[in-house]
């Protein structure tokens, strides 16, 4: 029963649990069923079981009947009141929309499938009557035997900005379709806005325009137009600025180039998004500029060109600069460098070069600079290109026993120069041998050198160095040098024969020699010892033969006790009276070539061949040497000698010839053929 105060009391038989006390006990006194706190029944009915309706319209039952009273729909018997879940078409409710922006929004709601699998569709559009709405299927887990309200959501995209939309959820199960209440949301967005422009970085050709733009949360394109016409009816130029998006104001700037100096320009900015187009106010700026100027900082004359470093003042305007050279100060005819361009800001230095000039010539030089406002020329300077007769300085010779290194410095003055060396035993450079040294056009002092081989030991030579170019030839004075002697002893300066037993010994000593021991015999019998000296008169062993070889042996005794042994020999000739009817003989011939070696080149400029011929005659001695090439016979007179060696030159271009010797009595040796190779 229900009391007037909305209390519920049960009494009587309770074997089926119909009293709702949680047990099957009955009684004659009334009992209060186990009703959840806050639940109030408005009507009640009894029988084998009991049911009641609460103030929310929900049904509660308890007792013997099988009621679908659990959350998953199981049929159970309850001894206390339990709410009976609804069974029927889905229940739909709304929740506030979220994530609203310019083109997106999320629509939220809740759906109770009321026990049966349920599908959900969201309809939305700009019409409150849902005329021709768009439809999207909502993904949600709403299965059979589900009795709980489940959140459902759909994120909508590609919406129109600043637009009111209407949306509703439609849910369907096997028992019917439920259409939720309409809910609304409005997307965001606004037309763009622009600030006043500011101008900076003004030159004769450039300017920077900066401004602010608020894109109104939408993707916004921004362009800048500029013109010399304030009405923008002519000479219009358009530059794009970076686009903008978002809800905040952003800074943008546009760099303008290729402007004209001293000119007023008008600008306006246009910003466009989905909600509209905004054109900013027309504003203006004026470029600056002045005539450029240039000055010569440094010059670098060469043989056929002049280079120049130039300092320039641009006049805040781009332009070009070049160098001009002329033979006359009025610059009636000019040679020009390549034109070099510069911007309004520089650079303020340039390196220019004028080519095609004449060597060793006087020129006037100036700089011409130009920009859009005009041209100017610098003050002229006068200078000369390089190029003159070459110069050879510091010639030197470092001789050894059979070779010498010849060195010098050559200044070509920038012209192609050919350098050679001449070597002779004659101070007047007669019969000199020539050697190639260098060829090139290196400017400044260029070290050159060559090595000459096959020189005679202990011999004095003279060398000159000649350098030639198109301006002339320079030749050094002869420089003398003497090749070194080998350490040891030499009889009569290297003569091969002597007619007296008294000879001169010449000693070439090392630094540490403390004594010299001399003998006519290899075993040093009858030796004498002398202090270190450069020469000594010595007596050979006498002989009764007309020709006999004699030797002189020496020992150099060093400070450390070591001993070095050397010897030299000579043929002793003894005069024998009687008629001379025996022909002389050629005992040996040797052909040698004169060649040069150099640090810069290896091939000799000139190659000459020399024949060394050794002859012997028992009585009157050889006094003539004859050569034969074809039918031509040439005779060379020499001092009479019974044993001698003479040098004669091979004729230029010949590789073979015949040679013989003739003595004072007129006896001749047989012809002997000699070759250069």
What is the Rg, in whole angstroms, of the alpha carbon atoms belonging to the chain?
A: 63
Domain match, 227 and 242 both:
yes
**How many CB atoms are located within 10 Å of the residue 550 CB?**
18
Domain match, 359 and 301 both:
yes
**19 dihedral zone (left: phi>0; alpha: psi -120 to 50; beta):** alpha
For residue 274, being part of any structural domain is answered with yes
> What is the 3 state secondary structure string of 155-193?
EECCCCCCCEEEEEEEEEECCEEEECCCEEEECCCCCCE
Q: 625: domain CATH number?
A: 2.60.40
From residue 100, alpha-carbon distances to 104, 160, 217 in Å are 6, 12, 12
Domain match, 210 and 169 both:
no
Domain match, 493 and 545 both:
yes
% pLDDT > 70, the chain: 91
For residue range 43-89, what is the model confidence (pLDDT) as tens digits? 888 776 778 888 877 788 877 665 544 444 455 667 778 777 667 89
Burial 1-25 (b: 16+ CB within 10 A, else e): eeeeeeebebeeebebbbbbbeeee
Q: What is the pTM of this model?
A: 0.52
Domain match, 590 and 670 both:
yes
Q: Tell me the range of 30-34, 574-578, 614-618 where mean pLDDT is highest.
A: 614-618
Q: 454: domain CATH number?
A: 2.60.40.10
Domain match, 173 and 203 both:
no
Residue 598 has pLDDT above 70, yes or no: no
> Among 154, 186, 218, where does a domain finish?
186
What residues are paired with 570 via a beta bridge?
550
Q: 334: domain CATH number?
A: 2.60.40.380
What residues are paired with 626 via a beta bridge?
635, 660
**How many CB atoms are located within 10 Å of the residue 578 CB?**
7
C-alpha of 148 from chain center: 74
As a whole number, mean pLDDT of residues 188-193 equals: 96
User: 649: domain range?
Assistant: 585-675
Domain match, 128 and 210 both:
no
Domain match, 151 and 235 both:
no
For residue 232, being part of any structural domain is answered with yes
Query: Pairing between strand 497-498 and 563-573?
Result: parallel
What residues are paired with 636 via a beta bridge?
625
| Ramachandran angles phi, psi of 632, nearest 5° | -85, 125
For residue 5, being part of any structural domain is answered with no
Domain match, 151 and 211 both:
no
Confidence band of 580 (pLDDT split at 50, 70, 90): confident
pLDDT of residue 372: 95
For residue 3, being part of any structural domain is answered with no
The full DSSP string for 419-433 is EEEEEESSTT-TT-E
Residue 44 contacts residue 35 (beta carbons within 8 Å): no
For residue 580, being part of any structural domain is answered with no
For residue 58, being part of any structural domain is answered with yes
For residue range 326-345, what is the model confidence (pLDDT) as tens digits? 999 999 999 999 999 999 99
For residue 1, being part of any structural domain is answered with no
For residue 4, being part of any structural domain is answered with no
Q: Which residue do the tokens 């540490």 mark? A: 512
* Number of separate domains in the chain: 7
> Among 513, 542, 573, where does a domain finish?
573
> Among 454, 482, 510, where does a domain finish?
482
> Is 463 in a helix, a strand, or coil?
strand
* Calpha distance 172→167 (Å, rounded): 17
Domain match, 304 and 353 both:
yes
> Is 487 in a helix, a strand, or coil?
coil
For residue range 289-305, what is the model confidence (pLDDT) as tens digits? 999 999 999 999 988 89
Domain match, 477 and 492 both:
no
**630 dihedral zone (left: phi>0; alpha: psi -120 to 50; beta):** left
* Calpha distance 298→265 (Å, rounded): 41
Domain match, 203 and 167 both:
no
């Amino acid at each position: 029963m229900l009391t007037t105060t909305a209390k519920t009391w049960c009494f009587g038989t309770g074997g089926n649990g119909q009293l709702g006390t949680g047990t099957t006990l009955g009684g004659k006194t009334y009992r209060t069923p186990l009703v959840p706190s806050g639940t109030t029944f408005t009507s009640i009915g009894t029988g084998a079981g009991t049911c009641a309706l609460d103030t929310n319209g929900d049904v509660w039952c308890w007792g013997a009947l099988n009621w679908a009273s659990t959350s998953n729909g199981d049929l159970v018997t309850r001894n206390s009141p339990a709410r009976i879940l609804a069974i029927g078409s889905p229940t739909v409710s709304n929740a506030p929309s979220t994530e609203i922006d310019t083109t997106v929004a999320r629509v939220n709601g809740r759906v109770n499938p009321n026990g049966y699998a349920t599908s959900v569709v969201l309809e939305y559009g700009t019409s409150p009557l849902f005329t021709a709405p768009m439809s999207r299927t909502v993904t949600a887990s709403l299965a059979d035997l589900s009795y709980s309200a489940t959140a459902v959501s759909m994120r909508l995209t590609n919406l129109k900005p600043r637009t009111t939309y209407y949306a509703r959820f439609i849910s369907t199960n096997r028992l019917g379709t439920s259409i939720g209440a309409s809910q609304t949301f409005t997307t965001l967005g606004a037309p763009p806005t622009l600030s006043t422009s500011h101008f900076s970085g003004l030159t004769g050709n450039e300017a920077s325009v900066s401004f602010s733009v608020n894109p109104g949360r939408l993707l916004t394109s921004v362009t800048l137009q500029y013109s010399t016409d304030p009405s923008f009816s002519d000479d219009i130029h358009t530059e794009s600025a970076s686009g903008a998006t978002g809800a905040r104001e952003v800074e943008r700037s546009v760099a303008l180039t290729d402007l004209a100096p001293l000119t007023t320009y008008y600008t306006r900015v246009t910003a466009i998004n989905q909600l509209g187009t905004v054109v900013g106010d027309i504003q203006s700026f004026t470029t600056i500029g002045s005539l450029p100027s240039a000055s010569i900082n440094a010059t670098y004359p060469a043989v056929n060109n002049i280079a120049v470093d130039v300092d320039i003042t641009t006049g805040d305007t781009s332009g070009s600069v070049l160098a001009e050279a002329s033979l006359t100060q009025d610059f009636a005819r000019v040679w020009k460098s390549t034109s070099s361009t510069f911007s309004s800001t520089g650079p303020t230095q340039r390196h220019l070069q004028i080519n095609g000039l004449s060597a060793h010539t006087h020129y006037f030089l100036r700089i011409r600079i130009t920009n859009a406002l005009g041209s100017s020329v610098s003050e002229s300077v006068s200078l000369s290109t390089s190029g003159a007769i070459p110069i050879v300085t510091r010639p030197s010779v470092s001789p050894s026993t059979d070779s010498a290194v010849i060195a010098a410095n050559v200044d070509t003055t920038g012209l192609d120069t050919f350098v050679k060396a001449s070597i002779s035993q004659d101070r007047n450079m007669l019969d000199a041998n020539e050697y190639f040294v260098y060829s090139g056009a290196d400017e400044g002092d260029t070290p050159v050198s060559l090595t000459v081989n096959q020189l005679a030991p202990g011999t004095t030579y003279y060398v000159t160095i000649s350098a030639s170019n198109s301006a002339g030839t320079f030749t050094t004075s002869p420089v003398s040098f003497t090749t070194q002697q080998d350490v040891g002893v030499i009889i009569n300066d290297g003569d091969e024969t002597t007619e007296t037993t008294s000879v001169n010994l010449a000693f070439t000593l090392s630094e540490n020699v403390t004594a010299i021991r001399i003998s006519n015999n290899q075993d040093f019998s009858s030796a004498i010892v002398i202090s270190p000296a450069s020469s000594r008169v010595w007596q050979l062993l006498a002989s009764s033969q007309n020709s006999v070889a004699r030797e002189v042996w020496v020992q150099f005794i060093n400070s450390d006790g070591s001993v070095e042994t050397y010897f030299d020999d000579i043929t002793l000739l003894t005069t024998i009276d009687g008629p001379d009817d025996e022909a002389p003989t050629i005992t040996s011939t040797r052909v040698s070539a004169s060649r040069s070696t150099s640090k810069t080149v290896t091939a000799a400029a000139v190659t000459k061949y020399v024949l060394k011929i050794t002859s012997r005659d028992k009585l009157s001695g050889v006094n003539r040497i004859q050569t034969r090439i074809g039918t031509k016979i040439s005779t060379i007179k020499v001092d009479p000698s019974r044993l001698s060696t003479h040098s004669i030159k091979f004729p230029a271009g010949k590789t073979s010839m015949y040679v013989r010797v003739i003595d004072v009595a007129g006896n001749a040796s047989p012809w002997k053929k000699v070759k250069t190779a």
